[in-house]
Structure 1
Amino acid sequence: MPPMIETRAKSQNDVGTFAVRDIKKGAVILRECPFVADLQRIMIHFHTDPAPTGDPAIDAEIRSLKREVESAIHDRQCDLSRMAETTANGGDVADDRRPPPRARAALDKLNELAVRHEFDSRPESIQEKWLSLHDAFRVIPSGSESPVGISGLVSPKGRRINDTIGTSLGKTGTGKNSGRFSVRTARKDESGVITMEDLWIKRENLTTVYGTCRSNSFLSGMLFERACRINHSCRPNAVLMPVEKLIRYLEHKFGDRIPPDLMLAPGEPNEHAVLSDREIRAGEEISLNYLGSRDESRSTEARREILLQKYGFNCECEACERRECC
């Protein structure tokens, strides 16, 4: 059967997944296992275990970040007590109960360490898939070495290292290299000899471990090679669900009379399916709702704020352009 979809460039820094033929409602568009299955569990482990990595220096940094979070939240609780007292005495004080900026910064750094530790434990084939995903944040760590993906270079030398992993040396350029980052690359020739070279590369040609994780993770922190290239819409035309859940749904709906074109053989553990939620015409872009279940009371402003903070983009889908609640 010919493929239903293709992934192609929409612009220089954006790709999308499009239907190559008409797709009827309820069709299974894609089946895929995540190459990283549960980053949320890994992050929780870092928050609760006193020595999650076994490296004394990193674990000491993690404990320091935890103390910073606890201290910041304690200070905020004291502030809230004073706010409550002021309000009780007739004052009018806004009560912002989100974690204070100092705590959010420490939490973000703690999550970055957890994700980097998980990345380092994975084989190179998984690391390459990870860093090939879109990075909406591209925050290159300064003063320390870190792995980065390289893509989109157009020079003859650059094309030879596209789609490889380099090492950011934590230095930014000056003069003619202003706005670029020092990256150490490794290239193997036909005889197997590896040549190391330090290059100055623009931010838009680099992807980072934590940036790609933040930009792409679904649900409990899953990364997919193909599903992560499906863009968001607040009124999507497809849904992502575990194959096991889909099989149970079909069995409940059809019993032992499931239509042949909907038959699903038992998949691998954690396999997911992208299912069309309505009829999709050839050439139409496939979309998913990154926010999960629909909330009809959620305003355009609320959705855009969540998506910008979590995924790094300002939503311009049709529902947002029409200022619809969804």
Structure 2
Amino acid sequence: MATTLRKVGLWILLFLLMILTACEEEVSPKNEKKEPENERVADSGDKLKIGFSMDTLEEERWPRDRDFFKEAVESLGADVMIREARGDDSLQIVHAETLISAGVDVLVIVPHNAEAVATIVNKAHNAGIKVISYDRLVKNSSVDLYISFDNELVGELQAKAITKLVPKGKYVYIGGANTDNNAHLLKQGVFNVLQPLIDKGDIQIVYDQWSENWTPENAYANMQAALKTNNNEIDAVIAGNDGTASGVIKALEAQGLANKIPVAGQDAELAAAQRIVQGTQAVTIYKPIKTLAYEAAKAAIKMAEGETVKTNRKMNNGKLEIPSLLLTPIAVDKNNIDDTIIADGFHQHDQVYEKPAE
């Protein structure tokens, strides 16, 4: 009898174990499917996140870039995280690492130092994040896209405008920051135009120097040295941008030469537009920044969604031929200032034609 009961109990135990195992097999697959489905629903509700690492906001144009880019990204339904490095390479790298850690889908960089920030591109790629080089090309890196204006053409437009005014004479070139690839592209464009005239003997370059960090103060010191070296006998000046042009013009004013020597800049800053009206600056180059910011934002969203961005050039950055989207700049002088930067609302008429303080 006892043996019979033990056998019955064993059979009952085996039966219960079979039922329990069957239940586990039935429940487990459902649970395994349910968790990823919940994760996908959560992911699909998240907005894309674009990181924007900026060199500086000190010059007039960069707050415009920041605001237009933010406006464009948000209008496309994504979020943007913006960091400004205040011209500090180390801080820009730290900021980029912060954006990468925050899980941005695409990182957009305005590099302070074209060489130093190559490490940012590597860090981003290691995290599976694509990188756009905004306005300035990151050198010696595998950056995914470069979007800017045709900076070589900017230099060519500067030189064409000045040589039209001064076809022969002594020229000074006051460049931007040697660490900025754009400064080199601008200079290349300038000398594309000047070199044939130099070879003919029509133009002589009597002073040629970079201005560290693009500052007007460094450009002012350079222009002072140029004037001293040449006993004020200078016929024309081409400056890297409107900020450096302001330093040049300040040095000319100190010698009573403002309005007498044509000066070219670029960026279409308000102060430059005012100087053109007043006659102390001959030309600036207008680069519609809103167009640049919106194109960069659209490209960032497309890249984040795995789409291909249409480009129109390839630019060599010392390592690779980088797919590039280059926009067209416009030369502005007193004859077309109303039809360009004022007509576009880039600056207001009353601001441009504002009389200088007595």
Same fold at TM > 0.5: no
1 or 2 for the larger relative contact order (CA 8 Å, sep ≥6)? Answer: 1
- The TM-score bracket by the shorter chain reads under 0.3
TM-score with structure 1 setting the length: 0.26
Please identify the structure whose Cα radius of gyration is greater. 2
- Say which structure is richer in helix: 2
